[in-house]
Chains A and B, each alone.
Chain A
């Protein structure tokens, strides 16, 4: 059976031909390459290199960026790409989010002309993989207090410190690393093989198993002076990257939820208990109706946010709401779908438990669920509640 995406309010009719074609291209690729192979990739804990090549060939990395060999698609098209990738697996979407929004974007927005020309075309084709180093072992939700330091040594910079939980770290050819130079957060491009830089892989994850997660360790790591991103200072740098990645996640979560809904619906229609399909029982229908309702709301949220991204009328709080809500409902839908599958729900024959476990990471990274609540709380009240020290 061809995958039929839940589209209760006919969002499809709002898309341009180009957006639909890009969506269908990625959808077909996910059906053909990701879904048949994802369980094996998870078991082996690898991100298949073939997927990197394919993503580059399709030309979807750094989707909304223009120039320097980047695709220049609309934000809605970028959202649709994330939605389809995450329907396959959050790990595949994570790869694309990190490459496009967290590694290419800061170079595109804050890099020098030389940096853009050097890195972006090769990153758009997937030849070079990037990662984004912000989180540290002791600083997750409050990256502003990071420890990693850069020192100006005249003809080079010297980096010291460690990053943790870095997606793509071990497989990356370059890392965009945020570190303090004279007490101010700055972005640096560190390349694989730079002296004093290592990126050991973290193991033992129960979530995002097909995505590579790493530490980045800098021990007197020397990098040339032209590797600093010249055009940004302070938390604005990393946060503007996160805005784009979070936007993609708000669409991606819809894809994961659609996958869980489809599986639950089909299972409920075919599973007979007490002589009837379980789909015929009101309690099960109530669950399916709730899923339909929440997915439809999430789609409308994502679509409208996409329009605001495209016409430039968005504020970061809009993105916080969509990321928080859509991941939240996707996780709840995954859990509910797991329940509808009964014991079968824990098997890798069905996608639901994998999505469920993945979404636990998605809930935490790119600003935890509650950090987004705090961002919205500050927006509503004008009072920040992140810290008791009122320093802002």
Chain B
């Protein structure tokens, strides 16, 4: 069994994001990381491989810098790596990215796909379901855990009425919420092995995907409005004012 894990490199959640000329300034991002939900997907895939056999192929669609993230995935145990090189991911619309990833999954002959429920940069959440649609695969979202028995899989997912256990069979795609275990730390042996795992690098056109006409154009990015400064009250006299503000403005009492 081959499990394909879809990984996206995003600005680290602790990095400062600055906007210049109506665009997020990517050159100012100090640290790029694997999107956190993707980390859960990767860890779960590695665990499934350890319990049930098979291999894990890590797939990313992104610019050259994303190669580092694939090597990181190799260091914790991904068996092979596929990099679909797209220099400007922002120039593509979601359906194009989904088409690239679905083609990449099929290129790896994978019937089972793990990914994050959304990427930490766009938070769009469309990739998993979109790829599943193109694959004609069952799609389970908000997943925390996956177990397999032969060709069938059971997934735990959050739902409004509590946890749900869902059974599906391949082809299938699982989009992960926070999983049960955080991504393992690499070790020196894994890092040395990662050196030997060279990523296969393809362009979108090698996969037969046309990326010429994006149906969406982004006008501009803007930073979130700055938080208004806090208010400060001193002395007993201010109690009445504070109470009225808490009741009428903040609606907390």
Q: Using CB atoms and an 8 Å cutoff, list the residues of chain A in contact with chain B.
A: 1-2, 4, 17-18, 21-22, 25, 28-29, 57-60, 63, 71-73
Say whether B165 faces chain A, with CB atoms less than 8 Å apart: no
- A2-B12, A18-B192, A63-B188 provided; 9 other pairs, C-beta below 8 A? A2-B15, A2-B30, A2-B31, A25-B185, A25-B187, A28-B185, A29-B185, A59-B187, A59-B189
Interface check B80, CB cutoff 8 A: no
Task: Let me know if B30 and A21 touch, CB within 8 A.
Answer: no
Chain A residues whose CB sits within 8 angstroms of the CB of B187 once the complex forms: 25, 57-59
For B188, the chain A residues whose CB sits under 8 A away are: 22, 25, 58-60, 63, 71, 73
8 Å CB contacts to A: which residues of B13-40?
A: 14-15, 30-31
List B contacts of A1 (CB < 8 A): 14
Residues in A neighbouring B92, C-beta threshold 8 A: none
Nearest CB of chain A from residue B211's CB, rounded to whole Å: 29
Closest 4 CB pairs of A and B: A59-B188, A2-B14, A59-B187, A71-B188
Mask of B212-244 contacts with A, CB within 8 angstroms, 1/0: 000000000000000000000000000000000
Contact partner of B191 (CB less than 8 A), chosen from A2, A4, A25, is: A25
Q: What number of B residues sit within 8 Å (CB to CB) of A?
A: 18
B60 CB, nearest partner CB in chain A, Å = 16
Main SS at interface, chain B: helix
Q: Are B186 and A4 in contact (CB under 8 A)?
A: no
A12 CA / B186 CA spacing, docked (Å): 20
Q: Is B14's CB under 8 angstroms from A21's CB?
A: no
* CA distance in complex: A57, B76 (Å): 13
Q: Which residues of A have CB within 8 Å of B71?
A: 17, 21
- How far does the alpha carbon of A1 sit from the alpha carbon of B12 in the complex, in Å? 10
Bound Cα distance A71, B186 (Å): 14
Chain B residue at smallest Cβ distance from A29: B185
A21 to chain B: which residues have CB within 8 Å? 71-72, 75, 186, 191, 194
Report Cα–Cα, A59/B186, bound state, in Å. 9
B107 within 8 A of A: no
**Minimum Cβ distance to chain A for residue B155 (Å):** 29
Instruction: State A29–B68 Cα separation when bound (angstroms).
Output: 19
When C-beta atoms are compared, the residue in chain B nearest to A25 turns out to be B186
CB distance from B67 to the nearest CB of A (A): 9
**Minimal beta-carbon separation of B207 from chain A (angstroms):** 26
Inter-chain CA distance A63–B192, complex, in Å, is 12
Q: Which residue of B lies closest to A77 (CB)?
A: B188
Q: Tell me which residues across on chain A come within 8 A of B192, comparing CB atoms.
A: 18, 71-72
**A12–B99 CA distance with the chains assembled, in angstroms:** 36
Interface residues of B, Cβ cutoff 8 Å to A: 12, 14-15, 30-31, 68, 71-72, 75, 185-189, 191-192, 194-195
Query: Given the complex of chains A and B, what is the CA–CA distance between A4 and B188 in angstroms?
Result: 23
Docked complex Cα distance between A63 and B75 (Å): 17
- Residues on B with beta carbons closer than 8 Å to the beta carbon of A2: 12, 14-15, 30-31
Q: How far, in whole Å, are A22 and B31 apart by their CA atoms in the complex? A: 16
What's the Cα separation between A120 and B189 when bound, in Å? 16
Known contacts A25-B191, A29-B185, A59-B187; is-contact A4 B30 (Cβ 8 Å): yes
CA distance A25 to B30 in the complex (A): 17
Q: Can you list 30 A-B pairs, Cβ within 8 angstroms, ordered by A?
A: A1-B14, A2-B14, A2-B15, A2-B30, A2-B31, A4-B30, A17-B68, A17-B71, A17-B195, A18-B192, A18-B195, A21-B72, A21-B75, A21-B186, A22-B188, A25-B186, A25-B187, A25-B188, A28-B185, A29-B185, A57-B187, A58-B185, A58-B187, A59-B187, A59-B189, A60-B188, A63-B188, A71-B189, A71-B192, A72-B192
Q: Which residue of A lies closest to B72 (CB)?
A: A21
| Chain A residue contacts of B31, Cβ below 8 A | 2
Bound complex: CA A1 to CA B64 (Å): 26
Q: In angstroms, how far is the closest chain A Cβ from the Cβ of B34?
A: 12
Q: Indicate the member of A1, A22, A60, A72 with the most B CB atoms within 10 Å.
A: A22
Per the bound structure, the CA–CA distance linking A25 and B71 in Å amounts to 13
B16 nearest CB neighbor, chain A only = A1
Which residues from chain A contact B185 at a C-beta distance below 8 Å?
25, 28-29, 57-58
Residues in chain B near residue A22, CB distance under 8 A: 188, 191
Q: From B33, which residue of chain A is reached at the shortest CB distance?
A: A2
A17 to B194, CA, bound (A): 10
* Shortest CB distance B198–A (Å): 12
Contacts of A73 in B (CB 8 A): 188
A364 to chain B, nearest CB (A): 31
In the bound complex, how far is the Cα of B195 from the Cα of A2, in angstroms?
26
Nearest residue (CB) in B for A21 is B191
Chain A residues within 8 Å of B30, by CB:
2, 4
How far is it, in angstroms, between the C-alpha of A29 and the C-alpha of B187 when the chains are bound? 11
Separation of A18 and B74 alpha carbons in the complex (Å) = 12
**A72 vs B193: C-alpha distance when bound (angstroms):** 13
Residue of A nearest to B195 (CB): A18
Residues of A within 8 A of B15 (CB): 2
| Neighbouring B residues of A72 by C-beta, 8 Å | 192
Distance from A235 Cβ to chain B, minimum over Cβ atoms (Å): 32
Bound CA span A25–B187, Å: 8
Given A2-B31, A25-B186, A29-B185, A18 and B191 contact (CB-CB distance below 8 Å): yes
Instruction: Write the chain B residue with the least CB distance to A19.
Output: B191
Tell me the complex Cα distance, A72–B188, Å: 9
B75 to chain A, nearest CB (A): 6
Closest to B186 in A: A25
**Cβ of B195: which chain A residues have Cβ within 8 Å of it?**
17-18
Residues of B within 8 A of A71 (CB): 188-189, 192
Interchain nearest-CB distance for A183 vs B (Å): 42
